[in-house]
Structure formats: structure tokens, C-alpha cells
A and B are shown apart, each in its own frame.
Chain A
Amino acid sequence: MADTFFVTAMRDAIAQAMREDPNVVLFGEDADKSVMGSTRGLVGEFGKERVLNMPLSEATMIGLAVGAAAAGLKPIIDLMVSSFFYITMDQIANQAAKLRYMSGGQVSLPIVVFAATGGAGSAAAQHSESPHPIFAQQAGLKVVLPSSPSDAGNLMLGAIRDPNPVIFLQEATLGGSKGPFVINENEMELGVGRVVRTGTDVTVLAVGRTVKLVEQAAVKLASENISVEIIDPRTIYPWDKQLVLQSVEKTGRFLAVDTARHTCGFAGEVVATVASESFVHLITAPKRITMPDTPMPFAPHLEKFVSVTEEKILRGIRALLSNE
């Protein structure tokens, strides 16, 4: 079958969900035209009553979703760029994430908010955030960060069917990437990771766009007789702890690769978990490769300097193996 663009897989999944359930509605800025491509054509099939073009009122957009979900709908929000979440933070963190808990479980809020995330193409600091750890911290939000068109489509369907608020982050640099996508009921559950490549010397956890980079690095390292096992958690919250721990038990070495900034990022959480729960299996100290604690700079060479690259991954894995 023909390969599908990453954003087209998202679009196809949304369309499928809208066909299945008339309570699924979509709000977004330029939702009818689709800046990122992930809602393109939906207005033609579902009409302006279900695909609603929104004014630039991000906080109210999320508030609308909370109220609409509380009153029986399943809203999907296209927020376009993950930096825009910061405009919405009361409605995301205080309302969407907390209303179920604070009401003693009286309500379910089936909401999906998706946005392009990560540094890409000199968009600079206000359009290049990787805020997934912030949402994982909220207690009440699920966080999806897919790395392939297949996961983008199936996890989007899983997110829409999930009865909780889900933050769905689409790597900006992966939007135009292509790969196979078939709707698969077994690949929709949030919290289930994937072994991307099996290996015996080192376990590397990679998220989003870094999965591909680690795969490329692993091919090169194979020629140096270094066998890399790659795990893509697919979701940041909940994340597939058991899959990682089982792998570390086998390899004894661990590297976490994350696009978020270093301090209090997702990589730090995973490394801490491996260190405290798999200590006896570790041959050497676990490491992480992250973005330094800096806003994303504009100039292409500066952007590359602070971003996770294949080069940094190669260096990180080699260092891990020479540390013994």
C-alpha cells in the first residue's frame, strides 16, 4: 500500500472518529484550511457545524472544549503550535486536567488537543517548544508524542476514544514524513511503548523525531559491533515503564534521548526510574541526551547546536560503552 504523510494519518484518524461518533467535533484556527495539514478536507466531509474555524482565542478554545465535553461532546482542538499552549494554561492545567478529580469523579472529559511541537526550520523560541514534560506533570492529562505516521494515526484514534483529556504532540519536523498507516485496534492504547529495534549492548529510549535519529545511529554502530535496542514509549504520560526496565535488565546500559530541555525533562524522569528500579542490572551509570536549558535560537546553525542530533546520539552511545 502507498505510504501516508504523518499529518494525513492524523487527518484520516480524525475523519474515522468523526464518522464513528457524531459527538466528535473539531475546533481550530484555520481549521477549514489547515495550516499544518492535519485537518485538511475535513470541512468538506463534515461541514462547518462540526469543523469550526476559530478566532485567535486559545484560552477560550480550551474552555469551550471543557464545557462541551462536560455537556456530552468529544471535542478535538487543533492548537496549531505547541507554544500556544502557554496562552491556554489555566484552562488546560486548572480546568481540563483537574475537573474530574476535583469533582470526585463526577465527570469525564474526552478532549484531544493537538499541536505541532519541537524546533524546526528556524521558527525561533516562540514556535519551537517541546513542552511535553509540563503536561506530564499535571496529573489528569495524557500526553502522546508519536514518531511515525502509523503511530500518529492509531494513537490519534486512541486519544479520541480515551475518556480523558489528551495532549497530542505532532513533531513539526515529522509532519511531512511518510510511512505506512493502517488503522489497527491493537496499536491505539495510550501507555504502550514499542521496541523499534532489538539489541543487546545498550537500551536507548527515544521520543518523537529522535527515534529516527537513533535508528540511523544504530545502523552505523552495528558496523562497530555495537548492538542497540531502541524503545519508543509513544506516550509520555502514561509511559511504558515495564518495557524499558525489561530491556535494561537485558542490556545493562541505558541512554534516554529527549527533545525537551534538560532540567526536569522526560529523560530525567526515565533515567531516575531506571537508576532506582534497575540499579542491580546496570553495568554503568545511565545517561541522557537532551536540549540544553536554553530557549531555541533562530539561526540554523545555532538551532542545530542545541538540538538533539545523530552526532550527539552516536557520541552518547559510544561514551556509554567506553565508560566501563
Chain B
Amino acid sequence: MISEDLLIGLQTMIRIRCFEERCQRLFNQGKLPGFVHLCIGEEASAVGTCLALKKTDLITSNHRGHGHVIAKGGDVKRMFAELLGKRDGYCKGKGGSMHIVDFASGMLGTNGIVGAGIPIATGAAFASKYRKTGQVAVSFFGDGATNQGVFFEALNISSLWKLPVIFLVENNQYTEWSPTHELSVGDTISRAAPFGVPAVSVDGNNLEHVRDAVEKAVNRARDGEGPSVIECMTYRWHGHNEGEEAFAGDYRPADEIAFWKNRDPIKLLSVEMLSRGLITEEEIADLWAQERDLIERAYEFAVQSEPALAEEALSDIFSEASQRNI
């Protein structure tokens, strides 16, 4: 059971890496409109978290959300179609990279506004508690978002009401182009303490550590004991957004980037699984080949998909009839 879990985890991390690398190439070729924020290097926090969740559980995410969508079960064909502004895209071309939403897999929205998903996940957790559905809601956000007021407001209300919500801080140590330690006092963990919310900091590049921490928080949430904060210490290999180099300069030391690239979450898990005899080198190579192929086919699907109709820009503003949400 555990090894199957790890295999899925490894495969999903590789899928995210391949997706993001394809996005990078497309961006460099000028084929991706808009802003693109890649999560290369941060795959373990998204995948480790979602391994501890059920399909019916709910997540909110942020601007760096491709990994979260894939980890929660999103379809890479429809993701590429969205990135290219096609009709088969998750949002029919109205969302784009920062705003992919997939309600069917419990993905309530990536988000262009830092911290905005925090109260939304808290509200989803309230609905779960009120309707006794047993669902847990996870909000993924970064260290920068821990300076948003809604973070503290949500800690207060979720603790007060013992809501089944997990605040999952992916601490990549940078708020856009600035080191977060220059912008914040204290650490993430200590920010949860006054609200009586248990908080733990884990190696965010170690999938098993992330999964185990989230599992504990999920159990706590399902038992009606309330929210948790989990900080995943990690690093993004790329900039805040693709193409930033011309404006941002080298704001991160080269040795720091090298240190974290050496702590590649995919490599770490591969080595661990090899040492436990859970997988062979050939099987790992097969996984990479299989996922690269999947991503190429997904991209090809998106290229073939029809562009979103111009008239569609005027639809989906209001709902005509009440549709049942998840």
C-alpha cells in the first residue's frame, strides 16, 4: 500500500515537472499569453498533500497552481487547452494559467490574488462541517501570503469554530522578488500559536514528510478538532514569473539556487525508493518517458482544440439556474 502511494507520488511529481518544463519552452517561444508562474522544485508539497486527501476533499490554490491542479487529479489536456485559450480549456479560455479551476476534482480555484484562497477554503470547510460531509479543505499559499490580513482572520475564525481546514504554506522563501525574511517578523509557525492552531514545519522537498504531516492534520480535521498549519520549506527553481530576468535581475544567490537544485524533490524520492528496493532505475526511466509522452500528447490535443469563440467572452457572467455545486 505504502509503496503504491509512493509510486503514484513519484509519477505525479514527474508529470508536474514535465508539464512545467513544457510551459517554460512554450513561454520562451512566445506561445503562452499572459503571466506564467512555474512550480518546478516545489512538486513534493503539492503531491504529498494531495496523497493524504480524498478525491472529495477540497483545495484552493494560488498563482503558482499548476502543480496543485495536477496533484488533485486535474487533466493536463484541459490545462494546456486553457493556457492556449481554447474551448476545451478548463475555463473555456477565460481563466488562463493563474486561474485554472476544476470543481470536478475538488479544485475550487487557483487565484491571482495572493492570500485570497485562504478565506474561501475556510468557507468550504464551514460548509463541510455544516452539512456533515466529512470533507477537508486545504488552502495552498506561499510565505508571502502569511502577511495578508485574511490569513490571521481565517486562523481566528477556523480555530474558534474548529473547522476542518488545513493552511498549507509553501515557503519558497521569496515574496515575489524579495526575500521574505526582509518583510516579516518571526516565522510562519509562531504566527499560528496565538490562535491555538497547531503548526508544524516540514521539509517540503520530502514527499513522505509532507504526506505524513498532512495526514495527521487531516485526521485532526475529520475528528472535529479544527484547523492546522503546515509549513513546507521549499524553493522555486525558476523566478516568480517566467520572463522576469530582464526586470528582476539576479536577486537570488547562485549558490542558494544550486543548493536547492541539489535537493530536487523528485530525485530525493527516486533515491529513497531505489534504496528501499521499491523501484528500479529502468522503471524510473520508463516513468519519465511515459509522462513526457503524456504531456506531449496533451499539448498536441490543446493545439488541435478549437479556439474559444469570441462571443463566449460575453457568457458565464451570471448563472441562469441554480446548478448544484460540489
Asked if residues B156 and A101 are in contact (CB atoms below 8 Å), the reply is no
Residues facing B in A95-112 (CB within 8 A) are: 95, 99-110
> Which B27-67 residues sit within 8 Å CB-CB of chain A?
58, 60
Min CB distance B29 to A, Å, is 26
The smallest beta-carbon distance between A295 and chain B, in angstroms, is 24
**What chain B residues lie within 8 Å of A91 (beta carbons)?**
116, 119, 150
Give the distance to chain A from B89, nearest Cβ to Cβ, in Å.
Answer: 7
From A23, A54, A71, A103, B91 is in contact (CB under 8 Å) with A103
CB-defined contacts of A23 to chain B, threshold 8 Å: 131
Q: Known contacts A72-B325, A103-B109; decide if A67 and B103 are in contact (CB<8 Å).
A: no
| Known A103-B101, A142-B318; further 10 A-B contacts with Cβ < 8 A | A60-B154, A63-B123, A67-B125, A68-B124, A73-B126, A90-B116, A95-B111, A106-B102, A108-B319, A109-B319
> Which residues does chain B contribute within 8 Å of A110, judged by CB atoms?
322
B217 smallest CB distance to A (angstroms): 18
What's the least CB distance linking B61 to chain A, in Å? 13
Assess the B325–A63 pair: CB atoms within 8 A: no
B169 on the A face (CB < 8 A): no
- Per-residue CB proximity of A34-61 to B under 8 Å, as 1/0? 0000000000000001000011010110
Distance in Å from the Cβ of B280 to the closest Cβ of chain A?
Answer: 41
Complex CA gap A54/B160 in Å reads: 10
* CB contact under 8 A between A25 and B317, given known A91-B116, A106-B91: no
Asked if residues B157 and A95 are in contact (CB atoms below 8 Å), the reply is no
Among A265-286, those with CB < 8 Å from B are: none
- With contacts A64-B122, A71-B135, A99-B109 taken as known, whether A140 is within 8 angstroms of B318 at the C-beta atoms is yes
Q: Which of B103, B109, B149 has the largest number of chain A CB atoms within 10 A?
A: B109
Judged by a CB distance under 8 angstroms, whether B99 is at the interface is yes
**Which of chain B's residues have a CB closer than 8 A to the CB of A49?**
130
Cα distance A71–B112 in the bound complex, in angstroms: 20
Does A94 belong to the interface (CB within 8 Å)?
Answer: yes
Please encode chain B, from 263 to 279, with 1 for each CB lying within 8 Å of some chain A CB and 0 for all others: 00000000000000000
Selected contact of B123 from candidates A71, A101, A139, A142, CB within 8 Å: A71
Q: A73-B131, A101-B316, A104-B91 are in contact. Are A67 and B326 (CB under 8 A)?
A: no
**Residues in chain B within 8 A of chain A (CB atoms):** 58, 60, 89-95, 99, 101-103, 108-109, 111-113, 116, 118-128, 130-131, 135, 137, 149-150, 153-154, 156-157, 160, 315-326
A-B contact pairs, 25 of them (CB 8 A): A57-B150, A57-B157, A60-B150, A62-B119, A63-B119, A63-B123, A64-B120, A67-B108, A68-B124, A68-B126, A70-B103, A94-B113, A95-B111, A102-B91, A102-B99, A103-B95, A103-B109, A105-B92, A105-B319, A106-B103, A107-B325, A108-B322, A108-B323, A163-B320, A163-B322
Residues from chain A with Cβ under 8 Å of B118 in the complex: 63
How far, in whole Å, are A63 and B120 apart by their CA atoms in the complex? 5
Q: Could you tell me if B113 and A67 are in contact, using CB atoms closer than 8 angstroms? A: no
User: Bound complex: CA of A70 vs CA of B124, how far in Å?
Assistant: 7
If the complex has contacts A59-B149, A106-B91, are A140 and B323 also in contact, measured as CB distance less than 8 A?
no
1/0 per position for A105-144, CB-CB distance to B under 8 A? 1111110000000000000000000000000000110100
Whether A71 contacts B113 by the Cβ 8 Å rule is no
A95 touches B120 (CB 8 A): yes
Q: Which residue of A lies closest to B123 (CB)?
A: A67
A210 within 8 A of B: no
What are the residues of chain A within 8 A of B102 when measuring CB–CB? 106
**Cα separation A99 to B90 with both chains bound (whole Å):** 13
Contact A72 B317 (CB under 8 A): no
A65 within 8 A of B: yes
Q: Shortest beta-carbon distance, B223 to chain A, in Å?
A: 19
